Structure 1
Amino acid sequence: MSEACEFVDDTLQRESTWERAMEFRERLGDGFKVYGASVGAVRGTIRDALKKYKDLGHDDITALSSELWADPVFERRLAAIVLLQTKVGILIPTDLTRLEGFLRQAGSHELADPLAVDVVKPLVAAFEGQARERALRVLDRWAADPDPWLRRAAETAAPPLD
């Protein structure tokens, strides 16, 4: 585990409460481990991590998001989304492949929806020219995929028809 990932994971565990963990378990079911950290704590942890690790570039950000996503812990996955949301401006078209994997593993609208709305949609909207055409082809493919989270993300992220 990278130093940045360890920082995020340790902080999320320190910010957790057993009461919130029980509430999350009831709401999310058995598909996730939960720490019991609030959404505010997740956001604050990512803010603090980005201050502490100021020199994280594109590859570092995407690697950290993958590290956080690797364990099926709800708060870690939410932290990956917040990280990507915060740094969406440095993401590139090929990052849609990583986001597709995250969506396939989301397992909950509480992860799939913010990933689609706060990461995929602004990412696709920022592309121009050939990059935009490629991204729209990816969304078309997602729209026809049997995975419900991909279809939902494609619908959410697709630009309005002119």
Structure 2
Amino acid sequence: MSEAGEFIDLSLQREGSWHRADELASRLEQEPGGRGLRFYGASVGAVRGTVRDAGRRYPGLSRDEITALSSELWGSQLSAAPVFERRLAAVVLLQTNVKLLTNSDLTRLEGFIREARLRDLVDPLAIDVVGPLVDGLDVLARVRADSVLDRWVREPDAWLRRAALLSPLLALRAGAGDWDRFIRHAAAVLGGPSGELTADVGAVREAVSRVRTEMATRRPELPFTPVG
């Protein structure tokens, strides 16, 4: 593990408590991605503080160093079970440095989302990383990124569909964003075969409902034609 990775990992372990770890395990193991994770029991605030401290301790990290560190923290290649707080630290690290990310980083994020299958990780990846990344691209790169999100909406993987649906939420909250595009994506997922309402499929419908509910309050002028 890199020096920065070791610093973050040890800091998270120091911030953890067995009581909080048990509570997290009990709550998150109800979701598909929660099974098989380890938990240190560090709070969300402690995770954010640790990443902030790491940024001060190791300033000026390049894009390649940031993305490599995020993969290291994510831990999909480790023999031991991945740690929830380290994965959350990877999300916070990417969120903090989202302006450094490029179109090509969507491939890495797609891998994280496929592996996560957990609201506590997928949602911040979608809302705080994927959305701002795409919004910050130039016109040509944005077209390519939009095509990636269009593919995610058609993917069998329900968590990629959830991520695509939630990704414009920050922009929509701010009075911007492409509402018509969200409507098309929502129609694509809600208008498909219903089948058995599994936990994964429920996560997709929940994402549509979340965006609709928020916009009904914040921007009631935006129309939504029910489908599905």
Q: Please say whether Structure 1 and Structure 2 have the same fold, judged by a TM-score greater than 0.5.
A: yes
The 5 Å alignment of 1:37-116 reads 37-70=42-75, 72-116=82-126
Greater helix content: 1
Preserved contact between residue 31 and residue 107 of structure 1 (Cα < 8 Å): no
Preserved contact between residue 103 and residue 149 of structure 1 (Cα < 8 Å): yes
CA distance in 1, matches of 2:102, 2:42: 30
Identity in percent: 60
Q: Which amino acid aligns with 1:160?
A: W
Return 5+ residue gaps in structure 1 as ranges. none
* Residue equivalent to 1:18: 18
**Greater relative contact order: 1 or 2 (C-alpha under 8 angstroms, separation 6 or more)?**
1
Bigger mean CA offset, 23-32 vs 136-145: 23-32
Q: Which of the residues 146, 152, 157 maps onto 2:162?
A: 152
CA distance in 1, matches of 2:55, 2:143: 32
CA distance in 1, matches of 2:36, 2:123: 17
How many residues matched?
162
* Residue equivalent to 1:161: 180
CA distance in 1, matches of 2:24, 2:13: 14
Q: Give the structure-2-normalised TM-score.
A: 0.69
Return 5+ residue gaps in structure 2 as ranges. 30-34, 77-81, 169-177, 182-228
Q: Give the structure-1-normalised TM-score.
A: 0.97
* Residue equivalent to 2:193: none
**Which of the two has higher C-alpha Rg?**
2
Deviation for aligned residue 1:55: 2.3
